[in-house]
Amino acid sequence: MPPRAKYLRTIWAELARLQSHLLWLGLFAEAIGFESLFMKIWRDRELVLELTEATNGHRIHMGTTVIGGVSKDMDERLRSRYLTDMDRLRKEVDDWSHVFYKDAAFREKTIGKGILPKADAVHLGAVGPTVRGSGVLQDMRTYGYEAYGELDFKPITHDGCDSYSRTLVRLDEVYQSIELIKRAVNQLPEGPLANKNDRFPNGVAIYRTEQPRGEVFYYAVGNGTIHLERLRIRTPTLPNIPPLLQMLVGHEVADIPTIVHSIDPCISCTERITYVKEAA
Amino acid sequence: MPRFLGNILENLFGKPATVRYPFERPEHVPGIRGELSFDMSKCDQCQDCERLCPSGAIEVDVEGKRIEWNPYMCIYCHLCVRSCMHQAITPLENVQPPGYRLEKKVFET
């Protein structure tokens, strides 16, 4: 893949992470009872969505990744807008992040709730911020796919094993994503956007990437025709459900919303099985 | 408390974060993926757009030389715009407004 396409994919992946984490922080704040904090976070999320819209034409689903590269480019004006908007977003996040770090009511509702010990997190196969909140260093970005290998990326972990440390992982990742985007925009190399590819895939491919909610797993088998023989997508909510059942044991009913929220569940993502019946 | 007070003052005298939608409309950014418009003088009814469309929003009538596009089924991915050999599909820079009836848009020569 051309290096410019790698960097652009990284920038957009981090933008997607920003919007997902800001959405989650807002929802989590609301689940705990901070209604106006929820509004404030979602207002700041709008900055990210507008930036996405200006580059990709869509606000959430970007639809810019094509086989062998990307389909949209970023000009000089957009690059400077990215840098100024990221600085602005950082200031806005500073404005409310102290609530998550220091507020007594918030800490009361999250510290010691939804405990997932390190050994259980590994044993039950948790992924993403859920497993990093239990102190396990597991992040697909450390393998350096796309441009992450060149951006001096270090994953964030917290050792609390509870809802609070899972929140902190996401909040720190917001700051980290802002830095990563700025670094990638500054280092953006020149070059073509996509390699031309006019053959149908033949062979087996396995690919793991880090989505906002955790590791996503793709398995594809091609047979040289226009149709794939097999495709399996495992989204991060599915492996996070067994740890959730473990977390819920021994808590009060009032704690359930925050514990369920703390894995960032996306139930619609889990239904990914399509069974195609072969003709006899 | 001082931080709290600043916030209150900002909310009292500051600008609202949202747009008063029916009275004023937000500016659409250039490059937004908007409605499709088919140029039938360039189109040769190859049906590439119909075959590629993930949501099945485009129907090409080869004999009648007309295209029906369903804006409510379209997911605005613009695969058709990228795939059209003759550049017969030009996207408009707008957002499809909500409607009362599920009407298809018809493009004829």
Residues of B in contact with A58 (CB under 8 A): 33, 76
Of B17, B33, B82, the CB nearest to A58: B33
Which of A23-32, A132-141, B3-12, B83-92 comes out lowest in average pLDDT?
Answer: B3-12
Which chain B residue shows the shortest CA-CA distance from A98? B3
At residue A280, the pLDDT reads 64
Residues of B in contact with A46 (CB under 8 A): 17
> Two tokens at A119?
């050994």
User: What does the alpha-carbon distance between residue B91 and residue A81 come to, in Å, rounded to a whole number?
Assistant: 24
Residues of B in contact with A72 (CB under 8 A): 31
The verdict on A232 touching B (C-beta cutoff 8 Å) is no
Residues of A in contact with B17 (CB under 8 A): 43, 46
B1 pLDDT above the threshold of 70:
no
Sign of the CA dihedral A16, A18, A21, A24? negative
ipTM over 0.85: no
At residue B3, the pLDDT reads 67
Residue with tokens 């703390």: A262
Contact yes or no for B31 and A50 at CB 8 A: no
The verdict on A194 touching B (C-beta cutoff 8 Å) is no
Which chain A residue shows the shortest CA-CA distance from B16? A43
Of A43, A46, A57, the CB nearest to B32: A57
**Is the distance from CB of A32 to CB of A105 less than 8 angstroms?**
yes
Q: What is the dihedral of CA A162, A164, A166, A167, to 10 degrees?
A: 160
At residue B96, the pLDDT reads 75
Contact yes or no for B31 and A71 at CB 8 A: no
At residue A90, the pLDDT reads 92
Closest CA to A7 of A53, A78, A67, A70: A70
Count the neighbouring beta carbons within 10 Å of the beta carbon of residue B3.
Answer: 8
H or E element, residue A222: strand A214-223
User: What does the alpha-carbon distance between residue A37 and residue A53 come to, in Å, rounded to a whole number?
Assistant: 24
**Is the distance from CB of A114 to CB of A251 less than 8 angstroms?**
yes
Contact yes or no for B31 and A72 at CB 8 A: yes
The verdict on A91 touching B (C-beta cutoff 8 Å) is no
Residues of A in contact with B33 (CB under 8 A): 57-58, 63
Residue-wise burial string across B62-84, b where 16 or more C-beta atoms lie within 10 A, e elsewhere: eeeebbbbbbeebebbbbbbeeb
Contact yes or no for A50 and B77 at CB 8 A: no
Closest CA to A104 of A34, A31, A174: A34
Q: Express each pLDDT in A159-186 by its tens digit.
A: 888 889 999 999 999 999 999 999 999 9
Q: In A33-114, which ranges are continuous DSSP H helix?
A: 35-56, 76-102, 104-110
The verdict on A35 touching B (C-beta cutoff 8 Å) is no
The DSSP bridge partners found for residue B90 are: B37
User: What does the alpha-carbon distance between residue A67 and residue A45 come to, in Å, rounded to a whole number?
Assistant: 29
Residues of A in contact with B29 (CB under 8 A): 50, 53-54
Q: How far is CA A240 from CA A28, A112, A237, B104, in A?
A: 17, 19, 5, 42
Average pLDDT over residues A2-26: 91
pLDDT band at B38 (very low <50, low <70, confident <90, very high): confident
Nearest chain A CA: its distance from B20 CA (Å): 15
pLDDT band at A204 (very low <50, low <70, confident <90, very high): very high
**Is the distance from CB of B78 to CB of A57 less than 8 angstroms?**
yes
Residues of A in contact with B82 (CB under 8 A): 71
**Is the distance from CB of A264 to CB of A129 less than 8 angstroms?**
yes
The overall average pLDDT reported for chain B is 84
Strands (E), chain B: 36-38, 58-61, 66-69, 89-91, 105-108
At residue A169, the pLDDT reads 92
Tell me if the pTM is above 0.80.
yes
Q: Express each pLDDT in A33-78 by its tens digit.
A: 888 889 889 989 988 998 888 888 888 888 888 888 888 888 888 8
